[in-house]
Amino acid sequence: MKTAYNADQLVVSKFGGTSMGDAACMLRSAEVSLKQGSKLVVVSATSGTTNDLIELATTAEKSSWEKASVIINKIKTKHEKIATDLELPESQLKIMNEMLVELESMSRGIHLLKDCSLKAMDSMQSFGERLSSILFTQAMNIVLKKSNPGSKSEWLDAREVLITDNQFGKARPETQEIARLCAKKLGAIKHENTVYVTQGFIGSTIDGMTTTLGRGGSDYSAAILAEGIKADILEIWTDVAGIATTDPRICPEARAISEISFKEASELATFGAKILHPATLMPAIRSQIPVFVGSSFGAHLGGTWVKKDVEDTPLVRAMALRKKQVLVTLSTPEMLYSHGFLFQIFKIFNDHKVSVDAITTSEISVSMTLDDSALLNKALIRDLEQQADVQVEEDLSLISLIGNNINHTPGLAKKIFDAISDINVRMICLGASKHNFCFIVDGAHGEEAIKRLHKTFIG
């Protein structure tokens, strides 16, 4: 069967939650991967299921069993409906039902102990991808049977290859071990008549504990596995036809970008564009794997290629908004004419495994932005207070303009601040990157700032 690429190109495709929404979405996504000639398909949980599983875990921990049961039934009903629609064979149905029983037992355990650790939370969340991938394997088999009867689809437990450390909730992949296991288990994938279907988002520690890579992590899983099997192309299929100049939900005029460099796309993902998990491009950059982003709902609409070199390098290519930011300002006269202060501060962030995004310093103070989830870590703030006066401002938005030669272009800052002259800018970060200019505004003004800047720079 003719596919989108040369027969010798190894393709990994990832489908997000909306592409797994119901049986029709799964069949449509399976058709796309067949047409693209993918050999490894990485899938997310069905849309909304990861949220349901998190709600289930917290309800089981903190509330009544009746309330938890309602959520379990919702998850069951949704997956059973897809299984019926796809005529899931008896043997697969048995596996799915066993998973649902396991989910109920685990929830019961959390409820009885009134304790849901990060480790338990990862196991709970893993059911989303484990269930959807069983169903998608069947969808893939249905389309293969019609168009490519000699081939078949096989379910692969990602935890057999995607080995991570034990940082539950945001585990880090062990790249060398993954490469070794990929070679062992999937070494012949290119020449097999099999399409492997596996789970995004989840992994396992070396001693078999289930982990997750953090919310939205299926993109990252797909990139890690693409690197592991030495793929030539990575495709990310979602609900929009590629990366747009900004989030289309904020700005309906946002346009799809046909090509973007790895560096720009990394900045865009890190600074808030939900379309790609921020870590996705690391393996792709390391292994020089071009990434395509498109819509499984309209594969013919084209999409965006993310790659090392691109022809067009505009000053402002795109912009992103990251909500729920906090600005932490540390002040102490001890910073004056002394050294080592920043080292002490960043050691604290390092010890608490909290990442800092934008930073500015003055003679006796330093301000930095964090995601608001960092405030849940009370010990972090306590440790910072040992070093300096700590001021925390909440509900801010980080606006980033992404493009090229941004820190060497006269007049750019004037144009930006003219467009938002009536909005207070709380902090600015410019200079560290050729590709990014970012600043902080009050959360209430974030979307308005994006709309005006989009009009000014993209039109």
| Residue of the chain from 182, 189, 273, 438 that contacts ligand ADP (CB under 6 A) | 273
Residues touching ligand ASP: how many (CB under 6 A)?
12
Of 27, 298, 294, nearest to 141 (Cα)? 27
The reply on whether position 128 binds Mg ion by CB under 5 A is no
Determine the Cα–Cα distance for residues 42 and 223; give it in Å rounded to an integer.
10
Answer yes or no: are the C-beta atoms of 36 and 235 closer than 8 Å.
yes
Cβ within 8 Å of residue 195, ≥6 positions away: 33, 34, 38, 39, 40, 41, 140, 144, 151, 152, 153, 154
The reply on whether position 36 binds ligand ASP by CB under 6 A is no
Q: How far is CA 92 from CA 152, 154, 383, in A?
A: 15, 11, 51
Give 200 or 203: the residue with its C-beta nearer to ligand ADP: 200
216 conformational bin, left if phi > 0, alpha if psi -120 to 50, beta if neither: left
The reply on whether position 240 binds ligand ADP by CB under 6 A is yes
**Smallest gap, in angstroms, from Cβ of residue 80 to ligand ASP?**
19
Report the residue number whose CB is nearest to Mg ion. Answer: 216
The reply on whether position 402 binds ligand ADP by CB under 6 A is no
Q: Enter the DSSP assignment of 163.
A: B
Using CB under 6 A as the binding rule, the residues of this chain from 162 to 221 that contact ligand ADP are 216
Q: List the x/- string, 101-130, binding to ligand ADP by CB under 6 A.
A: ------------------------------
**Amino acid of residue 320:** A
The reply on whether position 239 binds ligand ADP by CB under 6 A is yes
Q: Which does 215 bind (CB under 5 to 8 A by kind): ligand ADP, Mg ion, ligand ASP, none?
A: ligand ASP
The reply on whether position 216 binds Mg ion by CB under 5 A is yes
Determine the Cα–Cα distance for residues 407 and 315; give it in Å rounded to an integer.
10
Of 127, 192, 194, nearest to 155 (Cα)? 194
Residues touching ligand ADP: how many (CB under 6 A)?
18
CA torsion sign for 43, 48, 49, 55 is positive
Of 165, 13, 157, nearest to 99 (Cα)? 157
The reply on whether position 137 binds ligand ASP by CB under 6 A is no
Tokens of 351: 């010890």
Main-chain phi, psi angles of 316, to 5 degrees? -120, 115
Give 221 or 400: the residue with its C-beta nearer to Mg ion: 221
The reply on whether position 247 binds ligand ADP by CB under 6 A is yes
The reply on whether position 201 binds ligand ASP by CB under 6 A is yes
Of 319, 446, 448, 425, nearest to 367 (Cα)? 425
**Smallest gap, in angstroms, from Cβ of residue 46 to ligand ADP?**
10
| Residue of the chain from 37, 217, 294, 403 that contacts ligand ASP (CB under 6 A) | 217
Give 140 or 240: the residue with its C-beta nearer to ligand ADP: 240
**Smallest gap, in angstroms, from Cβ of residue 348 to ligand ADP?**
31
**Smallest gap, in angstroms, from Cβ of residue 294 to ligand ADP?**
11
Q: How far is CA 204 from CA 86, 109, 120, 171, 172, in A?
A: 29, 21, 13, 9, 10
Q: Which does 239 bind (CB under 5 to 8 A by kind): ligand ASP, ligand ADP, Mg ion, none?
A: ligand ADP
**Smallest gap, in angstroms, from Cβ of residue 147 to ligand ADP?**
25
Q: Which does 278 bind (CB under 5 to 8 A by kind): Mg ion, ligand ADP, ligand ASP, none?
A: none
End-to-end CA distance of the chain: 42
The reply on whether position 246 binds ligand ASP by CB under 6 A is no
R_g of the chain, CA atoms, integer Å: 23
Q: What is the secondary structure of 174-190 as a DSSP string?
A: -HHHHHHHHHHHHTTGG
**Smallest gap, in angstroms, from Cβ of residue 414 to ligand ASP?**
39
Give 44 or 141: the residue with its C-beta nearer to ligand ASP: 44
The reply on whether position 215 binds ligand ASP by CB under 6 A is yes
**Smallest gap, in angstroms, from Cβ of residue 218 to ligand ASP?**
3
Point out which residues pair with 280 in neighbouring strands: none
Answer yes or no: are the C-beta atoms of 257 and 317 closer than 8 Å.
yes
Tokens of 180: 């070794």
Using CB under 6 A as the binding rule, the residues of this chain from 35 to 64 that contact ligand ADP are 44
**Smallest gap, in angstroms, from Cβ of residue 417 to ligand ASP?**
36
| Residue of the chain from 38, 126, 238, 404 that contacts ligand ADP (CB under 6 A) | 238
Q: Characterize the bridge pairing of strands 303-307 and 259-261.
A: parallel
**Amino acid of residue 140:** M
Give 240 or 366: the residue with its C-beta nearer to Mg ion: 240
| Residue of the chain from 38, 107, 218, 325 that contacts ligand ASP (CB under 6 A) | 218
Main-chain phi, psi angles of 430, to 5 degrees? -145, 145
Using CB under 6 A as the binding rule, the residues of this chain from 2 to 31 that contact ligand ASP are 16-17
Q: List contacts with ligand ADP (CB under 6 A).
A: 16-18, 44, 216, 238-240, 243-244, 246-249, 273-275, 318
Q: List contacts with Mg ion (CB under 5 A).
A: 16, 216
